Structure 1
């Protein structure tokens, strides 16, 4: 996806400028994110072309106005929506088009609008989409004005006033990217290209390409297809003459053989680019680019998941679509940082819980080597607690269109290895009547993509009897949330079933269910990151993630690292309060040194042997338990340094230590990325940590940290990961939590240096530079 630069400087002059040159070219996709007018509340006549919106707020999308707050226990979103606001939001965008482009076809593509969106062009109603997670497109062509001085206005109304609409945070508004697309009358159909690579090997692959050409002007055309590897080399090119019939969809199918392909896998996610070009004579009239991976993924009843004939355990996590402090409008850089940390823990799979995600998220999974369970819905017709007025109100009218659109949009992503069509569905699943609802959805999935299996996350199947009634026996892969012993028993009673844990907790016995059962294809932990909503006041965030909102490691991520990491790992945690009370923390600085004398310690490690030291005195060595349980010590607390050393075959391979902190003295800043480019999706995380004179983190510090920044950058959000902090994320200041806080930074100029500072009253401030770099094309 192309990114815009300096979107705040774009104006009506920009649209006049690009429309005189851009649309003389072939298909052009224009980033349409900049310079929208926005207002909260119901506004009569806001869809009309001549409506005066000058008093509205000017902003760029993606935009989530709900995350701006404030938090309020009385907000109607309540527990599910994290007590953040709901309501109606209006967006308007004015643009002009050159008269020379009046013969082209124009459409507008939305990657997602939350929720119940309605769209108008020049006062003409284009349609409504209730489901806020789905991508959709509208044809603008019949209603556009062309020529100098003639305005066009896109108006969007987003309405999530009907609450509670979800069990988890949704956001509000145009929270994903928007594009304006111009094509010639003969063009490739939107989402009309499907590319598959059946049964490839390292020696040979056949790439099947099916593409649809629509609204054609009758004639003979040349189709050219190029296969380009990740170094930019064209590895295969074909041409053919095609007779296009006017006024209908023309489907073309091609097979291209690639010798010695670079296969896509978890360790080496090699990607290819397929360019399809359509010529009328020597004139290029349309072109399209699709990124693919050549791979073979399958599930086997006896041995679980296989990728390119290699057996893998899917070590997955569930992720909601919010990005913490940025809400639902998540820059891709936030996801990059999150997925990078998940990779560090050993995660190789993502479940999109429980809805379609932004398309660029799937691009990132392709690039980073995650396998994906792509999911449609959290509810069918039956309501769920704390989300009684959600998609269940729209399922009957919209499930088919929404399912179709997700599959058409997502089916070329190599990362996707399985589809899920429901999570913990409360509808009657009795067989055969209840199964019909499942089957009708599965049929739609396979109509548009028959290359992947379909599952759903079954809810308490022993209670619903789906294992005994015949329902589960019909599923491609049987997915179940929790209760791993039930799934194990079901498979062992039905050894031809393919099975996967669609949702699992962090506890040891659930890991062992995956580790020790070869037929268990994988599991998806609930969750990878803490997420907004599904929390009881004063909590606003569900804290079951491996990482908190701000990206801090937690007890469960440290332990999971010892189970899933390929590298030697050793981590020390202690109970926060005396004699085993409290919660697990990774430090050696008690709240009260005087009353803390009995420290319960766990060491998480995959090393053969771990030896623990307190102030250089050995507290003994422990061998690795066969069941991967932690190694435990009860230690009489002494101020100083606790250290664990991990050994394999007698050789030190990993170690970790914590030292007791003194009084807070200064702030140190670190950055996740040393450089940023000036586009909406690029960010760097600045972490401010309060430390003592020796640089030791003061784990109990909760001082107010004030961030400031030079005008070459901007603070997008601040956060500390505290699930009961109600101060919000939009300002430049937040309190430290467990000694630290973050600021998410973007560039505001095309070049130069951004300087970020952090101040705490009475402490030495911190400062750090971030370089602005040119955007990659």
Structure 2
């Protein structure tokens, strides 16, 4: 391997964040203002839109972030592999704005966190640049092209032209991430211009090194001093250092400072403490800039024998892969929706995510910092060899170095980030020395930008990438769907560090159970059983990964494919068309993933509780399937329980059906998965019974040390009688972005979920709120996400309720369904 990283103590990373306004008498202050309001949008090939005088009075008014494709409609003519939504084509965004005269003399920078795809940007008709990769952020200095004064109008024009067959999943479309306008003095800390590391950490003290890049756009040499104060998690200053003077004779100067923090509060999974490095630039003794960097004090280590350690403590990676879309909300970044996804994963017991297969949003990483979740940041899904006709391979040669360096510069200060992934299942695995040559180059770029974290990649063709030298050019080897090859790889390469970069790939539809329990087959309903034993040819149930990881504790852990369902890639439906690298739509309307542990709306599937039973210590027990099997009286129903208790006992209508002990090894799991013919599927990670059906109540009780500590019941539901509403939060911010996720249940008169109901529910909103989206987690429907109604899917659907910008008050939500009792709830929108 290029660098063994056998005992890698890693740096403390930080988020370069907004400069805080101060009352400095010189007006020497950095500001970073949201640039999301007041945009105009128009689809079509409109080349004159780059000129400021072009009439855009009829264009649609909106606020960013915006994903035009999620608005639909779903259509069979679009590629189901990419979600069956109109994400490709041409469109323009424009914004009219003024710059106050008191800003003259400042450097003005326009910043985009992401633009999907093939962006080109103009200001007042002047071309600023282009960026083909939609997942990477970029910025332009617009100072010299501005018209100054409140009475002067400037026009930003952005063209986007995402192409069909540009992605193996739904990419979204538009200015789907946040935009910013920055004002700095000519001498200032560069964009993403700090790098904080802590090479030495113990309980008594931490060495904090900070590298600082300073830009000088004054046109003359500048005499500067630098002062950095470190603020603790309560924002109290703990140490300060001033260095200089230095002379910047060119456009950029690079400097280093070392500080020491006594008795540091460490960033850890349960205590994600965050510090702030506040860097002030003085020019000729006067304050010129104030730049804040959020970081965490922690150490990480990777060892071939002991695995991964955080702050000296061994941690198994219990990770999931996450695509970037937010289900019915589409690809448009939303803080609360992203936070909710991560909270749901953490509640399951996950401690890590892999940003598959692209750079994440800044919000996702900031939230991982705050929540205590480890991150593998992934840069590319392909290199030179194409997976789809118009994918990143078209731009790789020209753009890969800049994109990768920009990614690392942006994200290297996050304490949550522990690895850089340079590729996923890249086809260069078949290309002999060429793949190794590219990997070596990408590995070098990563180490040059950040020598404190290892590189990795996910390999699915075994042993191609091992034998041709490709895997040897990275620091940590990720194996996709190869748990049986961990030991063989380690035996052949005893100095390597290995983990499961993608695992399992079980598919299911939330709340669906087919009898008999089928093998991997296409069901006419386009639904897949939730017994968690079905997958494509490369897949296997979670039990197998659990088994091999328990046998090889030196393996770092796993990243399950996937945490959430995602738009596009509707495996097992949608046939492959090799002539276009696309998908046929003969299984329409299957248009989104079945892989998720959680569905598109955030409703957990049964598999969620299987992972929770292995990854969480909080006592739990789960039971499946539902208990509505009219017409199957007396027929054997396979019943499963997932628990982290020692054993579980099943009862039907008060009668015990016996206890099962968790952890009893049943090797048939390894021979039956690909030839499974039911009715029960045994392993030491799931408990099962064969139960002759009779209506009533099925209950499971979990025991620890012989004592009953948790239970779960499922009762046969009667006819649907009512709608119920359960918001995840009753108070939201009145900023127009915050969302309350309202679960809608179809229940019988006793409050039991009617498990196969599909009633149409219509929503009424009164007060300062509006519908952001609706959904039900069904991966095979063309119902619009942008509607005031939704059918239930297996008894559930969801209303995504957002506030109206700047309006406070009570929002009343009422749900109606024909023949059922309606339900209401109230949400308060407040200026929090």
Q: TM-score, normalised by structure 1?
A: 0.93
Q: Distance in 1 between matches of 2:376 and 2:402?
A: 20
Which residue matches 1:609? 647
Q: Within 5 Å, which residues of 2 pair with 1:681-696?
A: 681-696=737-752
Q: Within 5 Å, which residues of 2 pair with 1:276-315?
A: 276-280=279-283, 283-315=286-318
Query: Once superposed, what is the RMSD of the aligned Cα atoms?
Result: 2.0
- Label 1:708 to 1:24 Cα distance change in 2 as closer, same or farther (>3 A): farther
1:636 is the counterpart of 2:671: no
Decide whether the 8 Å contact of 2:650 with 2:658 is kept in 1. Answer: yes
Decide whether the 8 Å contact of 1:97 with 1:145 is kept in 2. Answer: yes
Alpha-carbon displacement from aligned partner over 1:260-292 (angstroms, at most 9, x marks no partner): 101111111111111111223564221111110
Which residue matches 1:561? 612
Q: Distance in 2 between matches of 1:199 and 1:3?
A: 25
Which residue matches 2:764? 708
Which residue matches 2:57? 54
Deviation at 1:560, TM superposition (A): 1.2
- Label 1:654 to 1:736 Cα distance change in 2 as closer, same or farther (>3 A): same
Matched position secondary structure for 2:151: coil
Which residue matches 1:13? none
Matched position secondary structure for 1:150: strand
Which residue matches 1:203? 204
Which residue matches 1:151? 153
Alpha-carbon displacement from aligned partner over 1:438-461 (angstroms, at most 9, x marks no partner): 111111111111110001111212
- Label 1:435 to 1:246 Cα distance change in 2 as closer, same or farther (>3 A): same
| Residue ranges of structure 1 left out of the alignment (5+ in a row) | 5-17, 575-586
Q: Distance in 2 between matches of 1:3 and 1:401?
A: 21
Q: Distance in 2 between matches of 1:730 and 1:665?
A: 27
Which residue matches 2:481? 482
Decide whether the 8 Å contact of 1:3 with 1:31 is kept in 2. Answer: no
Q: Distance in 1 between matches of 2:651 and 2:659?
A: 9
Which residue matches 1:133? 135
Alpha-carbon displacement from aligned partner over 1:542-564 (angstroms, at most 9, x marks no partner): 11111000111112112111111
Decide whether the 8 Å contact of 1:227 with 1:235 is kept in 2. Answer: yes
Decide whether the 8 Å contact of 2:439 with 2:470 is kept in 1. Answer: no
Deviation at 1:396, TM superposition (A): 0.7
Q: Distance in 1 between matches of 2:88 and 2:160?
A: 10
Which residue matches 1:12? none
Which residue matches 1:624? 662
Which residue matches 2:390? 389
Deviation at 1:432, TM superposition (A): 4.1
Decide whether the 8 Å contact of 2:601 with 2:798 is kept in 1. Answer: yes
Decide whether the 8 Å contact of 1:219 with 1:244 is kept in 2. Answer: yes
- Label 1:2 to 1:660 Cα distance change in 2 as closer, same or farther (>3 A): farther
Q: Distance in 2 between matches of 1:554 and 1:596?
A: 27
Matched position secondary structure for 2:658: strand
Deviation at 1:158, TM superposition (A): 0.8
Matched position secondary structure for 1:457: strand
Q: Distance in 2 between matches of 1:554 and 1:100?
A: 56
Deviation at 1:750, TM superposition (A): 4.0
Which residue matches 1:332? 335
Q: Within 5 Å, which residues of 2 pair with 1:731-742?
A: 731-742=787-798
Deviation at 1:241, TM superposition (A): 3.2
Which residue matches 1:32? 35
Decide whether the 8 Å contact of 1:265 with 1:307 is kept in 2. Answer: yes
Q: Distance in 2 between matches of 1:626 and 1:314?
A: 24
Deviation at 1:153, TM superposition (A): 0.5
Find 2:44's aligned residue among 41, 46, 55.
Answer: 41
Which residue matches 1:86? 88
1:552 is the counterpart of 2:551: no
Q: Distance in 2 between matches of 1:545 and 1:693?
A: 32
Decide whether the 8 Å contact of 2:50 with 2:157 is kept in 1. Answer: yes
Decide whether the 8 Å contact of 1:611 with 1:620 is kept in 2. Answer: yes
1:771 is the counterpart of 2:828: yes
Which residue matches 2:813? 756
Deviation at 1:724, TM superposition (A): 0.8
Alpha-carbon displacement from aligned partner over 1:12-58 (angstroms, at most 9, x marks no partner): xxxxxx9xx99955111110001100011111300111111110000
Which residue matches 2:491? 492
1:519 is the counterpart of 2:554: yes
Which residue matches 2:507? none
1:589 is the counterpart of 2:621: no
Deviation at 1:431, TM superposition (A): 5.4
Aligned length: 741
Alpha-carbon displacement from aligned partner over 1:622-659 (angstroms, at most 9, x marks no partner): 11124433111111112111000001111111111111
Alpha-carbon displacement from aligned partner over 1:574-626 (angstroms, at most 9, x marks no partner): 3xxxxxxxxxxxx2223x34567321101111211211111111111111124
Which residue matches 1:743? 799
Decide whether the 8 Å contact of 1:78 with 1:164 is kept in 2. Answer: no
Matched position secondary structure for 1:509: helix
Find 1:729's aligned residue among 785, 803, 808.
Answer: 785
- Label 1:519 to 1:102 Cα distance change in 2 as closer, same or farther (>3 A): same
Which residue matches 2:535? none
Greater shift, 245-254 or 519-528, is seen at 245-254
Deviation at 1:330, TM superposition (A): 2.9
1:529 is the counterpart of 2:580: no
Deviation at 1:680, TM superposition (A): 4.7
Deviation at 1:485, TM superposition (A): 1.3
- Label 1:144 to 1:363 Cα distance change in 2 as closer, same or farther (>3 A): same
Greater shift, 490-499 or 544-553, is seen at 490-499
Q: Distance in 2 between matches of 1:23 and 1:642?
A: 73
Deviation at 1:428, TM superposition (A): 4.8
Q: Distance in 1 between matches of 2:734 and 2:652?
A: 48
Deviation at 1:522, TM superposition (A): 1.4
Alpha-carbon displacement from aligned partner over 1:120-172 (angstroms, at most 9, x marks no partner): 00001111100000000111011111123211001000111x32111001000
Matched position secondary structure for 1:199: strand
Deviation at 1:429, TM superposition (A): 5.4
Which residue matches 1:583? none
- Label 1:373 to 1:689 Cα distance change in 2 as closer, same or farther (>3 A): same
Decide whether the 8 Å contact of 1:116 with 1:158 is kept in 2. Answer: yes
